[in-house]
Structure formats: C-alpha cells, structure tokens
A and B are shown apart, each in its own frame.
With several copies, the nearest count.
Chain A
Amino acid sequence: MSDGSAAELARTVEALLFLAPDPVPTGELIEACEVSEVQLRNALDLLAEELAPGRRGIVLREVAGGWALATDPVAEAAARRLLARPKTPPLTAAQAETLAIVAYLQPVSRPEIARIRGVSSESAVQTLGERGLIEEAGRSRFGAVIYRTTALFERLFGLSGLEDLPDASKFDPTPEDAADLRERLLRAGEQRAAP
C-alpha cells in the first residue's frame, strides 16, 4: 500500500479500527498497512478530522492501548432500546415446565426440578438463567443451587407480583387432592420416571 494516497490509507485505517474488538496500537497499524510511521500519522490526522465529534455516528478515540472507534453519545438512548432489550423467543415445552416449577414452588433446587419433570433439566435452567427469567437464590442445606424468578420475569409475563400468578387449581386435573402442591408434583414426577 506504500503507493496509496493518504485518503485511501485513512479509509483502510478506519476499516481496521471498525473490525478490531480492542484498541489497536500505532505499531500494529503500521505493520498491517505496510506504510511508514509518517504516512500512518497523516492518515490518522485525516481520519480524526472526518470522524470529529458531531460529524458522524462514530468517533475516533486515542485510548491507553492505541486507537479505537466508538459510538457518538447521540445514539445512546436508541442503542439501549435496540440492544439492551430482553430476548423473548417463544418458550419450549421444557422451558415452560421448568419456569412453572420455579414460579410456583420458589425457592426450588435443581434436583427437585429434575425429579418433578422426570428428566434432567440443565439446559432449560441454563437458558432461563441467561434470559434473566430465573436466578440463583443461594444453596439448599444439601448444597444444591436453588432458584427463584426475577423482576424481569414478572415484567415479561405482565405480572405485578408473584401473587398475580394464575391460580394453580384452575389448571389442576385433580383439584380435590388436598396434598401440598410441591408434594403432588414430586409424586407425579416419580411416577413419570418409573419404568
């Protein structure tokens, strides 16, 4: 690229900083572009001018580790709306069951969830955790992680609090059974797991 113009070099430097996840030291830019230090300095000056604050959506920054592109603060609110939005893909059956167990029985341990569902529920628990619907709430006295639902869970289900959960008896196939909900879920789960 030694024959490229300063403008073309500035374009290349912009592209490199766009791609790099971390700040790039001047020396690495010189090596990647195969130019002299003077040529690179000139290109950086040109780029700094084009990306001066207020001109574009991204700005050039010189930080501790080298050079980096960053977004202009003008986009902050829109960025939060676009990117900090919770992901809400449809729940799979396994996720819905796991979430129902945590919601109605909380706090509840992972082994209990597995016993009620009759299958190990690791991946459902993990996904629900990543999506911020459930969180760890300490450990049971046997050392198992216990879970509860989060404020985001209430928000995404349109609940003003846990007392707002639909009445379990409405969906209960045998509402006449007087035993405790937890006990009955565990009993049904063990029947399911039996060969």
Chain B
Amino acid sequence: MRTADLELDLDVFAGPFDLLLAIVLREEISLLEVELGDVVVAYVEHLEEEGELDLEAATEFLVLVAALLELKSRLMLPTEEEPELDLGPEEAADELLARMLEYRRYRDAGAELSRRLEREAPYLHRAAPLPAELRRVSIEAARQAYDPDRLGVALGDLLSAPPTLDTSHIRPTVSLERRLEVVRALLQRASRIDFDEQFGSEDRLTQAVTIFALLELHKKGEATWSQRSNFGPIEVSGQRTATGGQTAKARRES
C-alpha cells in the first residue's frame, strides 16, 4: 500500500495520512489536536488486511508517524511527572520549531531553484549529432583501460559449480502477533534491548514487521524506543507497569 493511500478519519482531520504532517508543518492544524494512536492503528489494520508489505512505503510511513509521535509526545509531556526524561514543553517546542525551520529552508531553497531555472531557460544548448568523421572511434586514440585478468576472473567464475540454492527471494510469512510475542518475551528477560543486535540478522520483512510490533507496544504503553540519530541504533526499553499494557490490550480486543 502506498503511504498516500491511507485514508484517515480523525476528529480534527479527514483525508490521506500523507497530508497530515504536511499541514502540521505548515501550521494549518495543531499537532496537539491529532490522535496519533488512531493513525497507527489504522495503518496496522490496513497492513494486516493487505497481507503484504511494500517496504519503501512502510518506511515512509514509519518515518512520518515516528516524527509525529515524537513531536507530540514531547509537546505534551509535563516535566514534573517524568523528571528523568528531561523533556518539557520548551524542548518540544524547540523540536517542532527545528522541524518547521528545516522544512522552510528547503521550501525557500526550492523557490530559489525555480527562479534560477526560469532565469536560465533562455540559454539554449546545441543538440546536434557529431559530424560523421568524428562518429567513428579511432583505434589510434585508444589506450589500455582494462586489466585482462578481469576476463580470466570472469571465466573462472563461469566455470565454478553453482553455489547452493539461493532462497532469499522466497518471502517468509511474518505475523505481527508472532513478532509481538517475540519482543514481549525479550523485554521480560532484559529491560533494554538494542534493535540491531537482536534483529539485525533477520530479513528485511521480519525487521519491518518487528518495527510495527514495537509501534503497537509503544501505543499500549508496554515499551518505549529511541534513536539518537538518523540510522543510528534503536534502543528499546520495556515499561515495568505491565498491567497497563494488559489493560490496553484488553480494551482493544473488547
């Protein structure tokens, strides 16, 4: 499913998910009014219905919803209740501000590029074929550019018996429920886990579904996760109040 195809029907916003962060960044609605839990549930349900995963689109969704989640949670966290988090409305405002300014920078740079294209349009370049006498490659102008051993190596590869059958293209089925069990079991044994360490060797589909499992756990209050920098390690921490998680689960299933 393309990220843009997820239709949302929230209290303050109805339309494609695609547009949600955009209108937040453009200050057309306040992030505080948006129920992000509903967005994630809608996506996970949609994904389960579809039964297959477009990794590119899923990554895009994750990036967008994670940004929304982080910004909103920081905006709403009252500092006095969670002093150890050291994140208050001030930091949240700074975070959202940084995102808005980053967006504006590229919006304005884009506008500048558009003006530049307009300004450059009158300079036309020639697109004529070469005269016939220059179209033929001259052997005299040729110098050695390749190593003959490259051919020997290629020949050796072709003579080799085929390697054992590559089955990586056969997609395993990965169920969200199963991944939830796996992550819950891990979090019972250790309060913190490193995503790459635990799941780095899994195939991409399993990794992606595990991320959804983490989103689900985050929504139920069973786990939090953080990533300090883009593409940096993801650290997952379990919440000790397991009963909270149970309640949330029961509520959703009732």
Binding site for B on A (CB under 8 A): 15, 18-21, 59, 61, 68-73, 75-76, 79-81, 83-88, 90-91, 93, 95-101, 103-104, 110-112, 114-120, 122, 132, 140-145, 151-152, 155-159, 164-168, 170-174, 178, 181-182, 184-186, 188-194
Q: How far is the CA of A184 from the CA of B147 in the complex (A)?
A: 24
| Residues of the B chain whose Cβ atoms lie less than 8 Å from the Cβ of A61 | 123
Q: How far is the CA of A190 from the CA of B78 in the complex (A)?
A: 9
Q: Looking at the complex, which one of B100, B141, B230 makes contact with A81 (CB distance below 8 Å)?
A: B141
- Asked if B24 lies at the interface with its beta carbon under 8 angstroms from chain A, I say yes
Determine, out of B15-23, B174-182, B215-223, the stretch whose residues face the partner at the interface. B15-23
Among residues 48 to 107 in chain B, which have CB atoms less than 8 Å away from a CB atom of chain A? 55-57, 59-60, 62-64, 67, 75-76, 78, 89-90, 92-94, 96-97, 99-107
Q: How far is the CA of A172 from the CA of B128 in the complex (A)?
A: 43
Complex contact A188–B110 (CB within 8 A)? no
Nearest CB in chain A to that of B151: its residue: A100
| Residues of the B chain whose Cβ atoms lie less than 8 Å from the Cβ of A21 | 126-130
Complex contact B145–A143 (CB within 8 A)? no
Q: How far is the CB of A116 from chain B (nearest CB, A)?
A: 6
Given contacts A91-B117, A99-B113, A173-B159, list 16 more A-B pairs with CB under 8 A.
A15-B124, A19-B124, A71-B125, A76-B121, A85-B137, A90-B118, A91-B113, A97-B106, A103-B109, A110-B60, A119-B18, A122-B4, A144-B55, A151-B139, A156-B143, A192-B30
| Residues of the A chain whose Cβ atoms lie less than 8 Å from the Cβ of B93 | 182, 185-186, 189
Complex contact B152–A189 (CB within 8 A)? no
Q: Looking at the complex, which one of A80, A97, A165 makes contact with B148 (CB distance below 8 Å)?
A: A165
Q: How far is the CA of A18 from the CA of B127 in the complex (A)?
A: 9
Complex contact B119–A171 (CB within 8 A)? no
Complex contact A117–B106 (CB within 8 A)? yes
Q: How far is the CA of A191 from the CA of B137 in the complex (A)?
A: 39
Q: How far is the CB of B142 from chain A (nearest CB, A)?
A: 4
Q: SS class of chain A's interface: helix, strand, loop or mixed?
A: helix
Complex contact B2–A104 (CB within 8 A)? no
Complex contact B125–A101 (CB within 8 A)? no
Number of contacting residues on B, CB 8 A?
Answer: 95
Interface centre among A79, A83, A120, A159 (most CB of B within 10 A): A120
- Asked if B11 lies at the interface with its beta carbon under 8 angstroms from chain A, I say no
Complex contact A104–B55 (CB within 8 A)? no
Q: Looking at the complex, which one of B90, B97, B99 makes contact with A178 (CB distance below 8 Å)?
A: B97
| Residues of the A chain whose Cβ atoms lie less than 8 Å from the Cβ of B145 | 86, 88, 156
Q: How far is the CB of B200 from chain A (nearest CB, A)?
A: 11
Complex contact B110–A91 (CB within 8 A)? yes
| Residues of the B chain whose Cβ atoms lie less than 8 Å from the Cβ of A103 | 109, 113, 151
Q: Looking at the complex, which one of B3, B59, B120 makes contact with A158 (CB distance below 8 Å)?
A: B120
| Residues of the B chain whose Cβ atoms lie less than 8 Å from the Cβ of A172 | 101, 104-105, 155-156, 159
Interface centre among A21, A79, A83, A192 (most CB of B within 10 A): A192
Q: How far is the CA of A40 from the CA of B155 in the complex (A)?
A: 45
Beyond A91-B114, A93-B110, A155-B144, whether A111 also contacts B119 by CB under 8 A is: no
Complex contact B90–A186 (CB within 8 A)? yes
A selection of 19 A-B contacts at a CB cut-off of 8 Å is A21-B130, A68-B125, A81-B141, A88-B145, A93-B154, A100-B112, A100-B152, A101-B155, A110-B60, A116-B158, A132-B137, A155-B144, A156-B142, A167-B152, A173-B101, A173-B161, A185-B155, A188-B160, A192-B75
| Residues of the A chain whose Cβ atoms lie less than 8 Å from the Cβ of B159 | 171-174, 184-185, 188
